[in-house]
Amino acid sequence: MSRSAASPRCIEGVGAGPFREALGRFATGVTLVTAAAEGAPLGLVANSLAAVSLSPPLVSFCPSRDSFTWQRMRRARRFGVNVLGHQHEAFVRRAAPAGAERFAGIDWNLTPSGVPRLGDALAFIECAIDAEHPAGDHWIVVGRVEDAHVDQAGTPLVFWASRFGCLGGPRVMPVHPQGH
C-alpha cells in the first residue's frame, strides 16, 4: 500500500512525545477518582478509566507510580470514580496539577462506606481495590464495583488531542438496537 501526499503523517519512533501524541488521538472521558485517608478526602483526575469485566463488574484506572496522592489513597482499599461533565472543565484545569486542592469550592459528600462523591457527577462508581499491578511508570488498579449511580442529565467532558471538549446532542440510534 503506498502513501499519498494526503495520507496522515506517520509518527516515527517510540519516544514519549510521539507515543503521547498518538494516544492523544484516542478520545477519553474524564474522571475524578476519590478516596478518604486519615479523615481527609483525596482525589486524582484520570482519563484512563476502562471497563474490565461485566461479571464480576470490574473497572481499572492507571495512576502514576510517582503519585503521592495515590500512595495515600490506596491505604483506604476503596475508591470512587466520579464521571465528569462539561461543567467540570474549569475544575479539572484547577485540580489536575500535583498538589492542587481538589475539594475546595466543589459540592461533595461521603458515601455510607466513606468514599468522597461529587454532588454533580454524571455517574459515580464505588469500588474496592481488587488488584494492583505495576506497569511501566504507572499502576494498573483494578476495582471491584460495589455500587453505581447514574444521573441521566448532562454532557460528558471528553479529552482529545490535549484539549477538553464535550459530546453534543442526543444519540439518534441506540448503541444496541433491540433485536440485534
pLDDT of residue 153: 81
Residue 46 lies in a domain: yes
Residue 98 lies in a domain: yes
- What span, in angstroms and rounded, lies between the C-alpha atoms of 144 and 156? 23
pLDDT of residue 9: 58
Secondary structure (3-state) at 33: strand
CATH number of domain containing 115? 2.30.110.10
pLDDT of residue 164: 87
Beta-strand runs (E) in 31-168: 31-37, 40-46, 50-54, 57-61, 78-83, 108-110, 116-118, 123-135, 138-150, 157-160, 163-166
Residue 21 lies in a domain: no
pLDDT tens for the chain, residues 1 to 180? 444 444 455 555 678 888 888 878 888 999 999 999 988 999 999 999 999 999 999 999 999 999 999 999 999 999 999 999 999 999 999 998 888 899 988 999 999 999 999 999 999 999 999 999 999 999 999 999 999 999 878 899 999 888 888 876 444 334 444 444
Contact 103, 80 (CB under 8 A): no
Backbone φ, ψ for residue 60 (5° rounding): -140, 160
Residues in the chain: 180
Give residues with Cβ within 8 angstroms of 174, minimum separation 6.
Answer: none
User: Can you give the residue range of the structural domain that contains 127?
Assistant: 28-157
> Which three cell numbers, joined as nine digits, stand for 68?
503521592
Q: What letter would DSSP give residue 64?
A: B
- What span, in angstroms and rounded, lies between the C-alpha atoms of 46 and 92? 10
pLDDT of residue 10: 57
- What span, in angstroms and rounded, lies between the C-alpha atoms of 51 and 176? 17
Residue 54 lies in a domain: yes
Secondary structure (3-state) at 87: helix
How many C-beta atoms surround the C-beta of residue 56 within 10 A?
Answer: 9
Residue 140 lies in a domain: yes
Contact 38, 47 (CB under 8 A): no
pTM above 0.75, yes or no: yes
Residue 51 lies in a domain: yes
Residue 144 lies in a domain: yes
Strand order in the sheet with 28-29: 28-29, 157-160, 163-166
The count of domains in the chain is 1
